[in-house]
Amino acid sequence: MSAPAPRQLRADAARNAERIVHAGRRAFAELGADVSLAEIARRAGLGVATLYRHFPSKDDLILAIFEWHYADQVEPAINEALADGDPWQGMVTVLEAALRLAAEEKSTFVAARDPARVTSDLASRFFSALSTIVRRAQQAGLVRAALEPGDLPRLVTMLVSTLRQSDESAQVWRRYLALLLDAFRPAAATPLPPASQS
């Protein structure tokens, strides 16, 4: 029997990585943060050595789960928003995609040894795109001019904080996103204290 061609090997590796990512998401959601990498390998139908080859640590797997979800759900919403003729609706769609990710990956996030480090690169990509999307809505007069790029991480953190007391299926965050969006509108805007104070 001849050895498989390199292209075939790469395709196998990519398929294995994806199986591990999906098994990992489900395992964290069902079994919680303490689930072992061996259990995730078992659920993926692969050996634990194969898992370690792809993801040397739990945080490497968790980063891959976030990247997969971001590429699958958030990036398409961003691209849609940047092309959307209605900058308000584009902004709402992107915020919804981000909150859905945070809600669905709550257990994954908690499982990380260093959650902030795992998500920091994705977060800066996200907030850079969101700034552009919010600026478009401001230029169209749909969002109050006083909102600054530096507000966006804080506002998303506020919305994420509503996930803490609710289970993953509850969509409580939708209510607080709707409320916060009402404060984005120029209609109700009153002067805001400055973004940074000494």
Q: Which residues bind its own copies (CB under 8 A)?
A: 151, 153-155, 157-162, 164-165, 170-172, 174-176, 178-183, 185, 187-197
CB of 148 to its own copies, least distance (A): 10
Residue 82 or 181 with smaller CB distance to its own copies: 181
Tokens matching residue 193: 């204290």
- Please return the burial class of 24, using the count of CB atoms within 10 Å of its CB with bins 0-12, 13-18 and 19+: buried
Question: Residue 197 corresponds to which amino acid?
Answer: Q
Under 8 Å CB-to-CB from 136, ≥6 apart: which residues? 82, 87, 90, 91
CB of 116 to its own copies, least distance (A): 10
- Please return the burial class of 27, using the count of CB atoms within 10 Å of its CB with bins 0-12, 13-18 and 19+: buried
Euclidean distance between CA atoms 24 and 173, whole angstroms:
24
CB 134 within 8 A of CB 91: yes
CB of 122 to its own copies, least distance (A): 17
CB 144 within 8 A of CB 185: yes
Euclidean distance between CA atoms 100 and 102, whole angstroms:
5
Tokens matching residue 103: 């809600």
CB of 115 to its own copies, least distance (A): 13
Residue 11 or 195 with smaller CB distance to its own copies: 195
CB of 161 to its own copies, least distance (A): 4
CB of 48 to its own copies, least distance (A): 36
Residue 6 or 191 with smaller CB distance to its own copies: 191
Residue 67 or 153 with smaller CB distance to its own copies: 153
Residue 155 three-state SS: helix
Residue 42 or 153 with smaller CB distance to its own copies: 153
Residue 8 or 161 with smaller CB distance to its own copies: 161
